[in-house]
């Protein structure tokens, strides 16, 4: 008997997978070598002080491997541990990985991000970690190693790591993924529920979700939730760093200034999409991937100058 | 000796009709029409109600006569007081406000859920006198015996100028309430979302309705039957596998009811995958008496479930249900008709009930009652009890009957309904499900109830399923065997650890306890990839876009 | 947090991968745990170390680990667990996942 619509959910989906499963699914089989693995027990000293459970890897898996035969470094945040948040050790692992990339020059660094941002429990240590990570991203980029951010998880990519993601060469997202700085609850508590109702999930995804980020030029790629498709999106970017010099930055500023002119006064993403030429913007969130891409690709703002 | 016949009777035999006429006469000073303005509703109620009246306020799982309830809470207690409320669901604060204001005094009901704590407080303060806590079928029956409402406040989707009502997919309790009231010269007042020229179909004839009010706001329907597949755990999937392979398959269960919960949602979602791999399509689960839960969509689409009769509807499922008229009960207008009384009846006589619970004692009695709260029963006991009056045979009923340990000295073979409780041994925060003594006993004392509020009785339960395995309690010949069988699947709880190891091993040898491996199930294969749908979005896709999830369940 | 330690066995060492082989299963999320299995020279004992966020269940942990140890009979191994309130059902599941991986390392 034919079903009306069998689920497109694939078995290699990222969304529900753990960090370890994501790394294994992304890289060539058996190619992953973990740096600072669990057995080394480099755990958070702060959480112990606060009488909270620690994780052997402090919620981030880092290491080296191969993606279609090409040498890459990978970091994957574990969404279930402390909301994927960045603590001192977690941040240091990420910074160290990027610094090693600047030294060893793999074809790319892939960051599988799934985080609410700074781990507030670790206060200043977490905040400092973010700035160290940012600097390290730029050191890797200065060494012509492309850094690729992936936001495909349930926590989204928020806070300081949201900023980090946009310091990277490329960003790829799925529809379920989100990318922003302040999270929905923070915006609501700061600006009031009339301004932003955090429980209005459709609003949240319209504002920060993968589809909107792709359309407005914050994400370079939008793919369906599958390791194979994320791999396929990342592959062409390996060995293809985006220039980071005065010229490219000036152009980027011009691109952003123009975008601000175009959409700065818009009250909702629906207005933005309408101005971009989308005929029925209210339908976009409900469209399946293919239908969405047919509309989005020709109309979207470019993500690079 | 001649018979002495009584003199020609002087008793009046039509007092109810006379009384009804006088109420309607009083109402004429408020409204000459059947359709009454919303602003006149409080005055209308004060005119038609009399002190000590028995009043039914329609409260279903979802649809509520909320505007009429709010108006009732605004009547002048000097004119209307001491009401006896007969109501299936106490759900809104207005339902209890009338007691605090002394407009109402006595209460007969079924289920109070969220209002359970407040109800308990009001009882303690002697503001509410509880007649009895009923199951749904019991209360509906008493509308036709000794609890017939004098005035009923009901809710419908729409009405025409003649007072014909359309109740649509969420018909729920309305037929039971209206029939009892209208045919004992009672007064039926309906709130509707809109008044139209022509209603899609006539669910309640205008003849039975005294007044219609258009509520200022449409009655809100809460989506309480929707379970997000994203929240289903591996342990629930393991238990679901055991249920399908260890119960549905060998007993060939084709007619059943699933109590709402994530555990049963897991069963529904692995029928198209695990159930299919066992070759069970068209062998199990063909007919269900249950609300249209979205998690049923894959099982329907893949050909497992052929027919569903519903007690009510579910928000977001309207178009899907209308698009599957071969499966659901649909009016000629294309929308569903539900009926809680008939659904409960069908479930009562079905082959199997399965549901979860909060506490189980060592006789197998289970309860969701918790301290300081009067929650009631709803319909679970109607589904979750052996139907001793049943006569027609079916494979599962006869098989379970044959397997049941005989009462000493009886020779008569009986059939038996499968009543299954499905629980994890520990709940959140390591609270054990298995306890020596149910909280229900304390509640009986605190609120001076006739009996401890047990949801499913141990002697009705045939099977207990936990992550540790299945216990076939119906095969236990003695209380001791039953107790050890329960301990044998109670895992590492105190109750489980106190088991007699040898007795439990013996029960396992006899097949009264079956572990997952005895059923050929490897717990490591109980992963979420077995779910036919892992998210609300997957369900939408399975439904071909017909399922329209409420806002809180979607991000688009 | 409560720290618990147990020792079971002794048994012969499970024939598994090289000296440095380790296995990890699970994540430290609410209601979940991670378990690390490593070789250790412990005269054939299985050593278990648990850090759990719900105190007061030492007896339960003892029973669960004893059953696991008896079933697997791994000698000269160290199990280390970071637990964020998993029920015995989840604990048993993760342990069996880890045990399967450990055996595959042979």
pLDDT tens, C42-88? 999 999 999 999 999 999 999 999 999 999 999 999 999 999 999 99
Please tell me the distance from the alpha carbon of residue C35 to that of residue A42, in angstroms, as a whole number: 15
Residue B114: predicted pLDDT: 86
Overall pTM surpassing 0.80 (yes/no): yes
Q: Which residues of C touch B423 (CB under 8 A)?
A: none
Mutate to test the interface with B, among A6, A18, A79, A207 (most CBs of B within 10 A): A6
Whether residue B555 is contained in a domain is answered as no
Contact assessment for residue A26 and residue A227, using Cβ atoms and an 8 Å cutoff: yes
Q: Which residue of C has its CA nearest to B527?
A: C93
Chains that touch C (3 or more CB pairs under 8 A): A, B
Q: DSSP secondary structure string, A41-108?
A: ----HHHHHTT----TTTTEEEEEEEETTEEEEEEEE-TTSGGG-B-HHHHHHHHHHHHHHHHH--SE
Report long-range pairs for A249-255 (Cβ below 8 Å, ≥24 apart). Answer: A251/A305, A252/A304, A252/A305, A254/A305, A255/A217, A255/A302, A255/A304, A255/A305
Whether residue B10 is contained in a domain is answered as no
* Domains in chain C, number: 1
Domain that holds residue C87: 2-104
Please tell me the distance from the alpha carbon of residue A71 to that of residue B264, in angstroms, as a whole number: 47
ipTM of this model?
0.94
3-state secondary structure of A250: helix
Whether residue B2 is contained in a domain is answered as no
SS3 for B272-334 is HHHHHHCCCCCCCCCEEECCCCHHHHHHHHCCCCCEEECCCCCCCCHHHHHCCCCCCCECCCC
Residue C62: predicted pLDDT: 97
Token pair for B489: 């699947």
Residue B428: predicted pLDDT: 84
Measured CA to CA in angstroms, residue B272 lies from B300, B353, B531 at distances of 9, 20, 8
Query: Do B209 and B239 fall within a single domain?
Result: no
Query: Do B147 and B279 fall within a single domain?
Result: no
Token pair for C29: 């999320």
Q: What is the CATH number of the domain that holds B507?
A: 3.40.1080.10
Q: Which residues of C touch A52 (CB under 8 A)?
A: 1, 53
Question: Scanning the structure block, which residue is given the tokens 């969304």?
Answer: A15
Q: Which residues of A touch B (CB under 8 A)?
A: 1, 3-9, 11, 13, 16, 176, 199-202, 204-205, 209, 285-286, 288
Q: Which residues of C touch B490 (CB under 8 A)?
A: none
Whether residue B545 is contained in a domain is answered as no
Which letter does DSSP use for residue B378 in this model? B
3-state secondary structure of B209: coil
Query: Do B233 and B166 fall within a single domain?
Result: no
Residues 6-45 of chain C with CB under 8 A from chain B are 31
Whether residue B322 is contained in a domain is answered as yes
Residue B429: predicted pLDDT: 84
Residue B10: predicted pLDDT: 85
Q: Does C101 touch chain B (CB under 8 A)?
A: no
Residue B78: predicted pLDDT: 97
Residue B61: predicted pLDDT: 79
Instruction: pLDDT band for C18, please (50, 70, 90 cuts).
Output: low
Closest CB from A19, A39, A51 relative to C1? A51
The maximal CA–CA distance of chain B, rounded, in angstroms, is 88
The shortest C-alpha distance from A51 to chain C (Å) reads 6
pLDDT tens, A77-122? 999 999 999 999 999 999 999 999 999 999 999 999 999 999 999 9
The domain limits of chain A are 19-179+219-242
3-state secondary structure of A109: strand
Residue A285 has pLDDT above 50, yes or no: yes
Q: Which residues of C touch B426 (CB under 8 A)?
A: 87-89
Q: Which CATH superfamily is domain A19-179+219-242 in?
A: 2-enoyl-CoA Hydratase; Chain A, domain 1 (3.90.226.10)
Q: What is the CATH number of the domain that holds C82?
A: 3.30.230
Q: Which residues of A touch B544 (CB under 8 A)?
A: 4-5
> How are beta strands A170-174 and A60-67 bridged, if at all?
unpaired
Q: Which residue of C has its CA nearest to B430?
A: C87
Q: DSSP secondary structure string, B384-435?
A: SS--TT-----HHHHHHHHHSPPPTT--------EEEEE--SEEGGGEESB-
Q: Does B298 touch chain A (CB under 8 A)?
A: yes
Mutate to test the interface with A, among B549, B552, B556 (most CBs of A within 10 A): B556
Phi and psi torsions of C5, nearest 5°:
-135, 140
Q: Which residues of A touch B230 (CB under 8 A)?
A: 16
Residue B426: predicted pLDDT: 96
Q: Which residues of B touch A283 (CB under 8 A)?
A: none
Q: Which residues of A touch C34 (CB under 8 A)?
A: 38, 55-56
Closest CB from A37, A56, A80 relative to C32? A80
Residue ranges, chain B, pLDDT below 50: none
Domain that holds residue B430: 229-536
Please tell me the distance from the alpha carbon of residue C79 to that of residue C42, in angstroms, as a whole number: 12
Query: Do B344 and B472 fall within a single domain?
Result: yes
Instruction: pLDDT band for C14, please (50, 70, 90 cuts).
Output: low
Instruction: Give the domain-ending residue among B214, B241, B267.
Output: B214
Whether residue B556 is contained in a domain is answered as no
The shortest C-alpha distance from B296 to chain A (Å) reads 13
Using the beta-carbon criterion (under 8 Å), do B235 and C90 form an inter-chain contact?
Answer: yes
Query: Do B354 and B462 fall within a single domain?
Result: yes
Instruction: Give the domain-ending residue among B214, B243, B273.
Output: B214
Using the beta-carbon criterion (under 8 Å), do A5 and B541 form an inter-chain contact?
Answer: yes
* Domains in chain B, number: 2
Please tell me the distance from the alpha carbon of residue B407 to that of residue B411, in angstroms, as a whole number: 9
The shortest C-alpha distance from A54 to chain C (Å) reads 7
Q: Which residues contact B215 (CB under 8 A, 6 or more apart)?
A: B38, B66, B67, B68, B191, B192, B193
Whether residue B541 is contained in a domain is answered as no
Residues 52-91 of chain C with CB under 8 A from chain B are 54, 57, 59-60, 63-64, 85, 87-90
Q: Which residues of A touch C21 (CB under 8 A)?
A: none
pLDDT tens, B475-523? 999 999 999 999 999 999 999 999 999 999 999 999 999 999 999 999 9
Query: Do B102 and B238 fall within a single domain?
Result: no
Q: Does B528 touch chain A (CB under 8 A)?
A: yes
Closest CB from A4, A16, A209 relative to B542? A4
Q: Which residue from A172, A268, A158, A259 is spatially nearest to A213, judged by alpha carbons?
A: A172
Q: Which residues of A touch B298 (CB under 8 A)?
A: 3, 7
Count of C-beta atoms within a 10 Å radius of residue A295: 20
Residue C15: predicted pLDDT: 57
Closest CB from C54, C93, C100 relative to B430? C54
Residue C17: predicted pLDDT: 53
Using the beta-carbon criterion (under 8 Å), do B555 and A1 form an inter-chain contact?
Answer: no
Count of C-beta atoms within a 10 Å radius of residue B403: 14
Using the beta-carbon criterion (under 8 Å), do B301 and A199 form an inter-chain contact?
Answer: no
Please tell me the distance from the alpha carbon of residue B34 to that of residue B25, in angstroms, as a whole number: 12
Tell me the β-bridge partners of B132.
Answer: B108
Phi and psi torsions of A154, nearest 5°:
-75, -25
Q: Which residues of B touch C99 (CB under 8 A)?
A: none
Please tell me the distance from the alpha carbon of residue B547 to that of residue B539, in angstroms, as a whole number: 7
Using the beta-carbon criterion (under 8 Å), do A5 and B554 form an inter-chain contact?
Answer: no
Using the beta-carbon criterion (under 8 Å), do B235 and C93 form an inter-chain contact?
Answer: yes
Q: Does C100 touch chain B (CB under 8 A)?
A: yes
């Amino acid at each position: 008997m034919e079903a009306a619509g069998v689920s497109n959910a694939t078995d290699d989906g990222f969304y529900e997978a753990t960090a370890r499963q994501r790394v294994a699914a992304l890289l060539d089989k058996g190619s992953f070598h973990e740096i600072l693995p669990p057995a080394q027990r480099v755990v958070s000293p702060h959480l112990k002080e606060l009488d909270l459970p620690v994780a052997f890897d402090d919620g981030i898996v880092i290491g080296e491997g191969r993606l279609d035969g090409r040498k890459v470094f990978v970091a994957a945040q574990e969404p279930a541990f402390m909301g994927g948040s960045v603590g001192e050790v977690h941040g240091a692992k990420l910074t160290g990985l990027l610094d090693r990339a600047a030294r060893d020059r793999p074809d790319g660094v892939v960051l599988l991000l799934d985080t609410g941002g700074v781990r507030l429990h670790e206060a200043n240590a977490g905040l400092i970690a973010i700035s160290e990570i940012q600097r390290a991203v730029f050191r890797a980029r200065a060494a012509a190693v492309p850094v690729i951010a992936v936001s495909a998880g349930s926590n989204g990519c928020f806070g300081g790591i949201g900023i980090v993601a946009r310091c990277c060469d490329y960003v790829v997202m799925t529809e379920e993924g989100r990318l922003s700085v302040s999270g929905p609850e923070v915006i609501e508590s700061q600006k009031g529920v009339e301004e932003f109702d955090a429980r209005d999930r459709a609003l949240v995804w319209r504002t920060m979700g993968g589809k909107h980020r792709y359309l407005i030029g914050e994400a370079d790629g939008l793919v369906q939730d599958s390791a194979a498709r994320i791999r396929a999106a990342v592959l062409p970017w390996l060995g293809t760093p985006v220039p980071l010099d005065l010229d490219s930055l000036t152009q980027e500023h011009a691109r952003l200034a123009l975008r601000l002119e175009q959409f700065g006064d818009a009250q909702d993403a629906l207005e933005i999409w309408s101005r971009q030429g989308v005929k029925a913007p209210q339908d976009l969130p409900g469209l399946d991937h293919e239908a969405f891409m047919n509309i989005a690709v020709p109309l979207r703002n470019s993500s690079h100058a | 000796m001649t018979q002495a016949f009584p003199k020609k009777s002087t008793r009046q035999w039509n007092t109810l009709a006379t009384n009804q006429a006088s109420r309607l006469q009083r109402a004429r000073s408020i409204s000459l029409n059947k359709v009454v303005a919303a602003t006149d509703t409080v005055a209308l109620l004060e005119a038609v109600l009399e002190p000590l009246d028995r009043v039914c306020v329609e409260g279903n799982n979802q649809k509520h006569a909320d505007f009429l309830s709010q108006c009732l809470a605004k009547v002048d207690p000097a004119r209307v007081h001491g009401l006896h409320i007969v109501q299936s669901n106490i759900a809104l604060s207005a339902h209890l406000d009338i007691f605090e204001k002394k407009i109402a005094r006595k209460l007969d009901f079924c289920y109070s859920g969220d209002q359970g704590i407040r109800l308990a407080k009001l009882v303690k303060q002697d503001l509410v006198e509880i007649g009895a806590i009923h199951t749904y079928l019991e209360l509906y029956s008493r509308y036709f015996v000794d609890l017939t409402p004098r005035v009923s406040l009901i809710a419908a989707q729409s009405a025409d100028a003649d007072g014909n009502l359309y109740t649509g997919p969420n018909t729920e309790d309305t037929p039971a309430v209206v029939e009892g009231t209208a045919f004992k010269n009672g007064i039926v007042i309906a709130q509707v979302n809109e008044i139209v020229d022509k209603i899609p179909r006539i669910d309640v004839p205008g003849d039975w309705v005294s007044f219609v009010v258009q509520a200022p706001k449409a009655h809100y329907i809460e989506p309480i039957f929707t379970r997000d597949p994203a929240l289903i755990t591996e342990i629930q999937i393991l238990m679901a596998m055991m249920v399908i392979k260890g119960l549905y398959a060998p007993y060939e269960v084709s007619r059943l009811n699933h109590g709402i919960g994530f555990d049963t949602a897991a069963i529904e979602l692995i029928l198209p995958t695990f159930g299919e791999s066992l070759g069970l399509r068209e062998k199990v689960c063909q007919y269900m008496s249950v609300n249209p839960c979205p998690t049923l969509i894959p099982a329907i689409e893949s050909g497992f479930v052929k027919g569903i009769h519903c007690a009510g509807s579910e928000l977001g499922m309207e178009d899907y249900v209308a698009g599957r008229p071969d499966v659901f009960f649909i009016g000629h207008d294309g929308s569903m008709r539900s009926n809680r009384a008939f659904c409960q009846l069908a479930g009562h006589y079905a082959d199997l009930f399965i549901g979860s619970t909060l506490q189980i004692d060592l006789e197998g009695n289970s309860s969701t009652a918790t301290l300081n709260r009067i929650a009631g029963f709803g319909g679970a006991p109607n589904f979750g009890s052996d139907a001793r009056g049943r006569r027609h045979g079916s494979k599962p009923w006869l098989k379970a009957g044959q397997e049941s340990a005989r009462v000493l000295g009886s020779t008569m073979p009986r059939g038996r309904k499968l009543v299954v409780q499905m629980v994890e041994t520990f709940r959140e925060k390591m609270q054990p499900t298995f306890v020596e003594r149910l909280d229900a006993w304390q509640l009986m004392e605190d609120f001076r109830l006739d009996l401890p509020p047990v949801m499913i009785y141990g002697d009705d339960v045939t099977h207990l399923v936990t992550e540790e395995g299945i216990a076939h309690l119906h095969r236990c010949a003695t209380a001791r065997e039953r107790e050890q069988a329960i301990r044998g699947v109670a895992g590492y709880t105190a109750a489980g650890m106190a088991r007699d190891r040898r007795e439990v091993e013996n029960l396992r040898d006899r097949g009264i306890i079956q572990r997952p491996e005895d059923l050929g199930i490897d717990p490591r294969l109980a992963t979420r990839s077995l779910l036919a749908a892992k998210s609300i979005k997957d369900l939408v896709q399975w439904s071909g876009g017909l399922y329209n999830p409420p806002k809180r369940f979607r991000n688009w | 947090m409560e720290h618990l330690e147990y020792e079971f066995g002794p048994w012969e060492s499970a024939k598994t991968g090289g000296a440095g082989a380790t296995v990890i299963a699970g994540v430290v999320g609410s209601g979940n745990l991670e378990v690390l299995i490593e070789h250790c020279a412990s005269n054939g004992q299985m050593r278990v170390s648990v850090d759990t966020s719900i105190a007061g269940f030492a007896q339960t942990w003892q029973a669960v680990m004893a059953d696991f140890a008896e079933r697997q009979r791994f000698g000269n191994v160290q199990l280390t667990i970071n637990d964020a309130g998993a029920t015995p059902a989840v604990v048993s599941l993760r342990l069996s996942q880890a045990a399967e991986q450990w055996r595959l390392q042979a």
